[in-house]
Structure 1
Amino acid sequence: MENLKAYIESGVLELYVLGDLSPEEALQVEEMAAQYPEVKSELTAIEIAMENYAMENAVAPSADIETKLFEKLGLGKNEEVEAISTTPAYTEEAKVVKLDNSDSKVRTLRFALVACVALLMISTGALFITYNKLNAAHDQIASLNLDKEKFAGVVSKLEFDNKGLDNMVAMNDSKEWATIRMAGQAFSPKSKMNVYWNKKDKSVLINYVAMDLPKADAEHEYQLWALVNGKPVSLGVFGKTDSTSTEALQKMQAIQDAQAFAVTLEPMGGSVNPTMEKLAVMGGV
């Protein structure tokens, strides 16, 4: 009994009424209907429901379409029905058969209309589901692209740090380079920075990897100074303190002699003289 209920609720009976089953499948439904009254009753209920739905949503045809429809059905509209009822040659049984055949054709058209409506609804639902899946796929692709960009940024940062560390090791091991470690001052006590000064060609480099300064705003940048005989000499400005430079090292202006190096926060473009109240780091040679 449970299997019979599952069979009725499977939807195969609706497909049978709509004519969407293969001949073999339709034959199986007919055999089930002949064997089980519950199946037969359900088939009748589905036919009546679809017929009612078709009638409730029917659109009245024009007179021309109505005439052509009856011609296709072979009814000749009212004339043939009236001829049946008034012709002595027809028995009452013949009239019933003729009318039953006509009603069967009309019912077939009604079922066809219901089938069209059902197919339209199914197609609309399928399109809606496909649209949602496409949107979901688009969101997944966008998320993957974002993750890819983040990963590329991490790789770039690691490569940057590695390059900076390699340069630091190379310069520390070299006798030509002097490493000046600058410590934080009152303006920024926790800051730190290294300057590399070549004893041979007097060139000066700063290393972003070994740098820890507060990030400058859009109106300021940092300026490197060398103290020569007690007087500050500008060695250039730099603003990228967040390790986003394409190079780990930045070359500054060379200096022949220096007793110390310092960094101050200055307006964009630098200053002629250092702003001492914004002295960030300083270190002696």
Structure 2
Amino acid sequence: MNTQTYIDSGILELYVAGALTAKENEDVYDMMLKHPEVTQEVLAIETAILKLTKEVAPKNRVISFETILSKLKNNNGDAQIIALNKPKNNWFTYTGWAATILLAAGLLWTVNEKNNLESKINTVQTEKAFFENRVNTINTDLAETKTLLNALRAKDVIAVPLAGQAVYPEAYAKAYWDKESNTVYLDLQGLPEPPEGKVYQAWSLTLNPLTPTSLGTIDNFKSNENKIFKLTNTNESQAFGITLEPAGGSASPTLEQLYTLGALQS
């Protein structure tokens, strides 16, 4: 049953009139908590009944001194004592309705507090999910860092320092070549960020004759925080170099943009 059908059923009028069973009263109360429009309808019914009660309540009759005097003068018989009825007031009626209105106001406050609490719970759950995701990311990064350090510290890994060249003498880098796994790790922390439209490209070199072989471009230089990059190297390398090339890389190195170069020790 939808909310409007529930309102139109007439059960709210019976609730206000106190004609429902305890179980039915609980059901109506639950509906008021869940649906603010039901609470508003109960308030509207109570307001209408209160207004009607005021309109049909007997008006207090006021007996003036002149009225009493006229009665005395026109009375030809024995003097009579006129009993003045004490005006009745409707305090009990009004107090009952006031209590009902206060109850409804309390229900509205409860609904509002419930909504505020649900909003806070949702906020806490969102923050909890964010921090859990952050912790998972940190744990993943730590695991990757540990794996990387173990690879760089392996017994058979060959470390090759790459010195800065004429185009950028302050540059420096280091290559860690694991011949067994055909992997080379490049630590490019000492290179400046490439300009827009440019990428760094790694090269494996044989010296006699000088033959460069591309190991690939470093496309994620900006986003990689530790600036260590893993590349495949199946070559019989004698040296490694890093050049700055147009995005997408080049077939052969641009020697004028050679940033670092280093040879394996004999």
Distance 2:232 2:196 in 1: 21
Deviation at 1:243, TM superposition (A): 4.4
3-state SS of the aligned residue for 2:243? strand
Which position in structure 2 is the counterpart of 1:130?
A: 114
Higher helix share: 1
Structure 1 stretches of 4+ with a deviation exceeding 6 A read 58-62
Aligned residues: 197
Provide the identity percentage.
Answer: 18
Distance 1:136 1:215 in 2: 43
**Pairs within 5 Å for 1:1-285:** 65=52, 92=83, 95-96=85-86, 99-100=87-88, 103=89, 106-170=90-154, 173-174=155-156, 177-185=157-165, 186-187=167-168, 189-196=170-177, 198=179, 203=182, 205-207=183-185, 210-212=187-189, 213-215=191-193, 219-228=197-206, 229-241=209-221, 242-243=223-224, 250-256=230-236, 258-285=237-264
3-state SS of the aligned residue for 1:92? coil
Q: Which runs of 5+ in 2 are unaligned?
A: 1-46, 63-80
Q: Is contact 1:223-1:235 (8 Å) kept? A: yes
Distance 1:137 1:217 in 2: 46
Deviation digits for residues 106-158 of structure 1 (CA, Å, limit 9, x no counterpart): 22221223223322333333333333333223222222222222222221111
Distance 2:135 2:151 in 1: 24
Q: 1:121 to 1:278 in 2, by over 3 A?
A: farther
Distance 2:232 2:257 in 1: 20
Distance 2:97 2:195 in 1: 71
TM-score, normalisation: structure 1: 0.54
Q: 1:137 to 1:192 in 2, by over 3 A?
A: same
Q: 1:279 to 1:153 in 2, by over 3 A?
A: farther
Q: Is contact 1:235-1:254 (8 Å) kept? A: no
Distance 1:133 1:217 in 2: 51
Deviation digits for residues 205-241 of structure 1 (CA, Å, limit 9, x no counterpart): 2326x44244557744321112332343222223234
Distance 1:279 1:118 in 2: 83
Q: Is contact 1:178-1:196 (8 Å) kept? A: yes
What RMSD over aligned residues (CA atoms) do the two structures have, in Å? Answer: 4.0
Q: 1:263 to 1:130 in 2, by over 3 A?
A: same
Q: 1:116 to 1:265 in 2, by over 3 A?
A: farther
